[in-house]
Structure 1
């Protein structure tokens, strides 16, 4: 696929995707305000859990605000005017995006597992690029100043994705822009972890009401998206309810979880843990087996989910996963809380080590050794 076709496909899934059903009220509120000649707040924050569709909403709104035909297309950008074509090619002169590390793509409205950033320029992604190192530095903020203060006609938009990744110096530099709003300039901050934003930043932006998702709407959306079939197995309503609960009510995260290769291996994880703990299987054998089942990143996701529910049961709370008999297993043996904490810490350390090119085999071997003593 050539770059032009690929960029166009990415843009279509990003800027011109259908409106998510739980976002219709907010969309109507904002677009009505604009069409009635009322200005939007200078700075808006889209924040909250992964999988709620915040990036999908922001990119769709950005496209609509820049669209030359928005008065005739209140439900979304026309996808045909000059502005929309610029977005498709990734060369829109009135859009700047940080961090400038990846192609303009947003998986938040698809699966929210990768959470790739967007950029108005054609930056090629690399295998070593990680969300944890997508820092927004002070020089990045300073580089926006000419664009923000250039004057002239027309709307200009800046999007700061992963805004929590701003360094303190970058956040302080951004404060000046937030304190001195420029006409026709709008800033959109997107954050998966708004608690990490400086209070001075949060006090100067208006948060979009994206976090409340009606359970019935979420159920209908996930049911339709999965089509009752995942990994060739039927998915009942109870299974969908469980997915939504595990995803903290975020429909897109629930869909991604159902399709993730690790989700169907939760019972197998428990079997491996029991076999390791009882000495019926060696950590080396378990490591070799799992290396053929999942890549290490997927195994870490699986392990984090299992630890979360194990902690709940150990604290006397009900399990979230009702289909794998977790509570029955923990009735005969409960790992110590410090053991669960140590294994969780090891999972985090493994993530860091993998960013430093540690071989997956060594990472798997180490995790299986530690799982045996959980």
Structure 2
């Protein structure tokens, strides 16, 4: 899938998430699953798509949902046909054989892995209300409400998608266990998790994990290079820059693309300049705060600061920096922040994130961070 507007797992049109092109590193798994179905061999009752953000797990799941429900899948092995009654129901968001928890995960908006994880309960620049990932919960009543759908019988294939499965309460997870232990014919449960370590062991032992996490480095580089070439001067995006993006994104190609397009990524050198100016007293915290408020919103500045802090810590520990295109090593060659200073700034960043959830004014948050950065 190749959307270059900042979304990592979805296209602009809300229904297109079901019918988008297959990501190149998912082709082998797709063929394995679809051939199994076409040969009349049933899929496992419950599947788990797990792994870090930006690897396309949600894109794969929604594409698989559409294909499994498609009335013409036998003649369209590479993806749902888009024209049958089932595909039309998906496009309208009214498919009777699909249930999704939590409801905000239903693909009625072009959200991606990363955007779902990084969304907040505050308003964005356009004033639109977004949903906090920390506020997502799948409760026991939600699981119980699925029971009539799962056990109705005689209604053809039925699919339940549990996004952010790690957000199930203990009671919800225990309620789900009964369904996992008593599989129903033609009912498939598809769980999606960004942090599978948070799933109960009893849940993980009863699902089959999809092999979505292994991506060959050359495939990742080729995909990111091609994707960024549509929006960024190809000459300016060399192999070293692409490899750095992928490394910073922990090997996830879609996250690397989103990182390159993030408004704060191009301001990393500027962050270092501000840090040095604050530390030397050449610039006041208030002046720096006023300047940056015109550059990035506070959440973007926090993302930038977290990346810079990560690399500063690496160099201070004697490791090589991840970012070779900024002069971090030069700065740290003459000045090393103390461990206590690094810890204090990291704590301040975390406290700011919590404060923002409580509707603290952005200017106040910026002023506080600049004061802490000056002491780093």
Please confirm whether the aligned pair reaches a TM-score higher than 0.5, indicating the same fold.
yes
How does 1:255-294 map onto structure 2 within 5 Å? 255-294=257-296
Provide the aligned length of Structure 1 versus Structure 2.
358
Aligned to 1:254: 256
Aligned to 1:304: 306
1:228 shift after superposition: 7.1
1:103 shift after superposition: 5.4
Moved over 4 A (4+): none
Q: TM-score, normalized by length of structure 1? A: 0.91
Structure 1 CA distance for aligned equivalents of residues 12 and 341 of structure 2: 49
Aligned to 2:101: 98
Q: TM-score, normalized by length of structure 2? A: 0.91
Gaps of 5+ in 2: 1-10, 120-126
Structure 2 CA distance for aligned equivalents of residues 154 and 204 of structure 1: 23
User: Quick check: 1:70 aligned with 2:73?
Assistant: yes
How does 1:195-344 map onto structure 2 within 5 Å? 195-227=197-229, 230=232, 234-344=236-346
- Contact in 1 for aligned 2:100/2:106 (Cα 8 Å): no
User: Quick check: 1:61 aligned with 2:64?
Assistant: yes
User: Quick check: 1:158 aligned with 2:160?
Assistant: yes
Residues 314-338 of structure 1: per-residue CA shift (max 9 Å, x gap): 1111111000011111111111223
Structure 1 CA distance for aligned equivalents of residues 183 and 118 of structure 2: 28
Label 1:228 to 1:81 Cα distance change in 2 as closer, same or farther (>3 A): closer
Label 1:306 to 1:370 Cα distance change in 2 as closer, same or farther (>3 A): same
- Contact in 2 for aligned 1:148/1:156 (Cα 8 Å): yes
When structure 1 is superposed on structure 2, of 339-348 and 320-329 the one drifting more is: 339-348
Residues 5-43 of structure 1: per-residue CA shift (max 9 Å, x gap): xx992111x100000000000000000000001111111
1:231 shift after superposition: 8.0
When structure 1 is superposed on structure 2, of 312-321 and 330-339 the one drifting more is: 330-339
User: Quick check: 1:368 aligned with 2:370?
Assistant: yes
- Contact in 2 for aligned 1:128/1:355 (Cα 8 Å): no
When structure 1 is superposed on structure 2, of 356-365 and 213-222 the one drifting more is: 356-365
1:269 shift after superposition: 0.5
Gaps of 5+ in 1: 1-6, 118-124
Residues 125-146 of structure 1: per-residue CA shift (max 9 Å, x gap): 9615211111111111111111
Structure 2 CA distance for aligned equivalents of residues 147 and 339 of structure 1: 55
Helix, strand or coil at the partner of 1:107: coil
User: Quick check: 1:15 aligned with 2:30?
Assistant: no
When structure 1 is superposed on structure 2, of 14-23 and 337-346 the one drifting more is: 337-346
Residues 60-107 of structure 1: per-residue CA shift (max 9 Å, x gap): 000000000000000000011000000000010000111112551353
Structure 1 CA distance for aligned equivalents of residues 298 and 287 of structure 2: 16
Aligned to 2:124: none
Structure 1 CA distance for aligned equivalents of residues 246 and 133 of structure 2: 24
Residues 111-169 of structure 1: per-residue CA shift (max 9 Å, x gap): x334599xxxxxxx961521111111111111111111111231111111111111112
